[in-house]
C-alpha cells in the first residue's frame, strides 16, 4: 500500500507540487510562529530590564528619603535636647512665647490659643 502511494505520488507532478506548496506553507507558519515567540521573548526581556531599572531607582529614592527622614529626626531630637531647661511652664511662657506655643501647644501658650482669637 505504501509503495503504491509513493509510485502514484512520484508519477504525478501536480500532486507533488501541491504537496511542496502545502509543506512550504506549513514551514512558513512554523517560521512565523518562531519569529513571533522570539519577538515576545525580546519584549519580555526589555520589560524585565526596564522594571529592574525602575526598581533600582525606586530603591535608591527610598533609601534617600529614609536617610533624610532619619537625619531630620536626629536634628529634631538634638533640638529638643538643646532646649533650655525650664522648671515650670509659667517660666517657659514668660521666657519665650513662641517656644511655649510650640512646646505646650497653642492652647497653653500665652495669646496663641483659641481664647486669643
Q: What is the pLDDT of residue 41?
A: 96
Q: What is the pLDDT of residue 54?
A: 97
Cβ atoms < 10 Å from Cβ of 44:
10
Alpha-carbon Rg for the chain, nearest whole angstrom, is 41
Q: What is the pLDDT of residue 22?
A: 93
Q: What is the pLDDT of residue 116?
A: 44
Dist. CA 49–CA 97, nearest whole Å: 57
Cα dist from 114 to 7, 89, 90, 96, whole Å = 109, 18, 19, 19
Dist. CA 46–CA 56, nearest whole Å: 15
- Residue-range domain boundaries for the chain: 13-82, 85-117
Question: Reduced to 3 DSSP states, what percent helix, strand and coil does the chain have, rounded to the nearest 5?
Answer: 85, 0, 15
pLDDT tens, N- to C-terminus, the chain (117 residues): 888 888 888 888 998 899 999 999 999 999 999 999 999 999 999 999 999 999 999 999 999 999 999 999 999 888 878 877 766 777 777 777 887 787 777 665 445 444 444
Dist. CA 92–CA 98, nearest whole Å: 10
Q: What is the pLDDT of residue 114?
A: 45
Q: What is the pLDDT of residue 113?
A: 45
Amino acid at each position: 500500500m505504501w509503495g503504491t502511494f509513493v509510485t502514484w505520488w512520484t508519477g504525478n507532478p501536480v500532486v507533488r507540487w501541491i504537496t511542496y506548496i502545502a509543506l512550504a506553507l506549513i514551514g512558513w507558519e512554523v517560521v512565523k510562529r518562531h519569529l513571533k515567540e522570539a519577538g515576545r521573548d525580546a519584549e519580555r526581556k526589555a520589560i524585565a530590564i526596564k522594571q529592574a531599572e525602575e526598581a533600582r531607582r525606586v530603591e535608591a529614592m527610598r533609601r534617600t528619603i529614609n536617610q533624610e527622614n532619619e537625619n531630620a529626626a536626629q536634628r529634631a531630637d538634638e533640638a529638643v535636647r538643646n532646649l533650655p531647661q525650664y522648671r515650670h511652664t509659667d517660666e517657659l511662657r514668660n521666657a519665650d512665647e513662641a517656644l511655649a506655643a510650640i512646646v505646650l501647644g497653642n492652647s497653653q501658650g500665652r495669646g496663641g490659643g483659641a481664647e486669643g482669637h
